[in-house]
Amino acid sequence: MKRSTRGCGCAIAVLLLLMGAGGFAFVRWGLPWWKSLPPRASGAQLQVHVLDVGPVEGDSILIISPSGKSVLIDAGDKGKGKVVLEALKRYKVEHLDYFIATHPHPDHIGGADEVISVVKVGTVIDNGVDLSTPAPAQITTGKGTKSKPKPTPAPAKKAKTKTVTGFFDEYRNAIEQSGAQYEKAQPGKKYDLGGGAILTILGPSEPFFTKDQMKAGGNDTNANSIMLRVDYGDFSMLFMGDAEAQTETRILTKDLELNAKVLKVAHHGSKYATSEDFLKRVKPEAAIISDGGWNRYGHPAQVVLDHLKSIGARVYRTDLQGEITITTSGKMKGDKAYEIKTAKEATSDVWIGREGQKDDSSRSGFIAYGDFGPPPKERTEKAKKK
């Protein structure tokens, strides 16, 4: 008996229709979602070296990706370029793919010109704030417009930078002479470091903070720092520059992934940053503080250390432990996704903060000219009584 084929054509048509709808849905929604997934970790080592650029203060962090790409975040204070260059040599870094200047304060980019003039840099990224010395004023005469003659410059001194614009001019001049590409930081932009490691810019977002907005404490230049995130498989780390509590409040209102295994604490552990609300969102297992034993600003503040202790984070400090290195394969090994090693053992309690002799907030009239030499010796009990 001949089998009936009635209805087969309709079934095939329905099947094709469903397949077409499924394909459209995948292209429309599934493909963008799939592309947004982070790449798989290659299993090669990612290194993060928080350099010791003390003893006064400063930041400089070297990232070496699993594929060998290198990122330098800040370069310490004036005169610390040598320390950074020695670290690059030690880790066999002959070329920097990216140099990121988080914000224009000398303890973060004072040593940048020394580094950029020696090491080839592919791309320089900063927040776009320009402190360059202004061009000479124009004066109008009957014969036209002329430049006002420049005063006779003072003899060059070998002393360390004493003005805000001095270190910044040296930084920008070094970029121009190096031929490096320049970019202004764009929140949300991602950089593929290879091997499955991704660097993401979290901020700053505009409009930038102004001095008037910092009356509750903190400093506007710090508040506009570049903030970064590195993701590599099961590992993640936040780099907060010198962000202030106001900066943290702003990014908490945005749809950002902030949870991270390791936190590079903002502003050297200043009392004006690392709020409880921010830490509750990040939930770091470990916190790295880059500070100097001679700093005059009370870094790290006891209140910040107490906040970190309350969430169960482990604390590491460059003033007590020297250079701090984080390594990871991007994959969990037992219950750990990373290892942290310090250059030396702390000889005092990492949970004890420092007392400040100066206030680094806009309301105190703070301007970062650089802060050199050891702080004044603490007064004895006898002197205090007098």
Handedness of CA 303, 309, 311, 314 (dihedral sign): positive
Give the number of other Cβ atoms within 10 Å of residue 26's Cβ.
Answer: 13
Question: To the nearest whole percent, how much of the chain has pLDDT over 90?
Answer: 70
337 within some domain:
yes
CATH code where residue 73 lies: 3.60.15.10
Higher pLDDT, 23 or 191: 191
On whether residue 371 sits in a domain, the answer given is: yes
Query: 145 in a domain, yes or no?
Result: no
Task: Evaluate whether 108 touches 139 at the Cβ level (below 8 Å).
Answer: no
Q: What is the pLDDT of residue 140?
A: 43
> In the prediction, which pLDDT does 154 show?
46
C-alpha 233 chain-centroid distance? 20
Is 142 within a domain? Answer: no
Q: Please report whether residue 352 resides in a domain.
A: yes
Q: What is the layout of strands, in order, in the sheet containing 339-342?
A: 181-184, 120-126, 95-100, 70-73, 61-64, 46-50, 324-328, 339-342
pLDDT-derived band at 378 (thresholds 50, 70, 90) equals: low
- The reported pLDDT for the residue numbered 366 is 74
Average pLDDT over residues 74-86: 96
Tokens of 44: 């090669």
pLDDT of 159 reads 44
Tokens representing residue 175 in the block:
């970029």
Counted domains in the chain: 1
Instruction: For the chain, give the mean pLDDT.
Output: 87
Phi, psi of 182 (to 5 degrees): -115, 140
DSSP string, 63-126: EE-TTS-EEEE--BSTT-HHHHHHHHHHTT--EEEEEE--SS-HHHHTTHHHHHTTSEEEEEEE
Q: For 263-302, write each residue's pLDDT tens digit.
A: 999 999 999 999 999 999 999 999 999 999 999 999 999 9
61: β partners: 50, 73
Instruction: Print the domain residue range for 69.
Output: 42-132+159-381
The answer on pLDDT for 180 being more than 80 is yes
pLDDT beyond 60 at 55: yes
Q: Are 71 and 193 in contact (CB under 8 A)?
A: yes
Q: What is the pLDDT of residues 37-46, one digit of tens each?
A: 668 999 999 9
pLDDT band at 2 (very low <50, low <70, confident <90, very high): low
Beta bridge partners of 237: 230, 262
Question: What would the pLDDT profile of 120-134 be if each residue is shown by its tens digit?
Answer: 999 999 999 998 866
Phi, psi for residue 172 in degrees, rounded to 5: -70, -40
Q: What is the pLDDT of residue 360?
A: 87
DSSP β-ladder status, 138-141 and 181-184? unpaired
- Cα dihedral 305, 291, 346, 325 in deg (nearest 10): 100
Q: How far apart are CA 308 and CA 316, in angstroms?
A: 11
The answer as to whether 141 is a domain residue is no
- Express each pLDDT in 120-175 by its tens digit: 999 999 999 998 866 444 444 444 444 444 444 444 444 444 555 789 999 999 99
Residue 27 has pLDDT above 60, yes or no: yes
pLDDT at 7: 59
Of 100, 160, 167, 96, nearest in space to 131 by CA: 167
CB 234: neighbour CB atoms within 10 A?
16
Tell me whether residue 46 is in a domain.
yes
Q: Decide if 291 contacts 299 (C-beta within 8 A).
A: yes
**Does 376 score more than 90 pLDDT?**
no
With respect to residue 164, please indicate whether it lies within any of the assigned structural domains. Answer: yes
pTM: 0.83
